Amino acid sequence: MTEPIDDLLRGPLVIVNLGLRGFAESLEAQADDVVQVDWLPPAGGDAEMIDLLDKLL
């Protein structure tokens, strides 16, 4: 009996990358299909601003 995860990994993969584009580029170099999500951390990653925004937005 095979697990669903085995079926997934046996077939062609489409990889979704969230974050540093370098991860996506290294996978693309290995001929994998990669979708790079257009995302940046809120407030440029400024922790003080993120805390304020959690309260106000």
Partner 1 sequence: MDIKQRITEANEEVVRRLTSGLPVLVDIAPAGEVIPGMEGKMITHSGPPIEWSRMCGAQQGSVIGSVIYEGWAETPEDARALLDGGEIHLEPNHSHSTVGPMAGTISPSAPVWVVENRTFGNRAFCRQVEPRQQFGDYSPDALDGLRRWRDLFAPTLREALLHLGGVELDPIIIQALQMGDELHNRHSASSSLFANQMAIGIAKAGVPLDRALPTLGHLAGHNLLFLGLAMAAGKAITDPARGVESSSVVIAMCRNGTEFGIQVSGLGDEWFVAPAPVVEGLYLPGFTSSDAGLDMGDSAITETVGWGGFALGGAPGILALVGGTPEDALGYTREMRGITTAKHPTHRMPALGFEGTSVGIDIRKVVQTDVSPIIDTAIAHREAGHPIIGAGMVRAPMECFKGALRAFGRRYTP
Using CB under 8 A as the binding rule, whether residue 12 contacts partner 1 is answered as no
Question: How far, in Å, CA of 34 to CA of 49, rounded?
Answer: 32
Q: Are 11 and 32 in contact (CB under 8 A)?
A: no
Residue 18 as a binder of partner 1 (CB under 8 A): the answer is no
Interaction between residue 42 and partner 1 (CB under 8 A): yes
Residue 8 touching partner 1 (CB under 8 A) = no
- Give the C-alpha separation, 39 to 25, whole Å: 16
**Which one of 1-9, 11-19, 25-33, 39-47 is the stretch in contact with partner 1 (CB under 8 A)?**
39-47
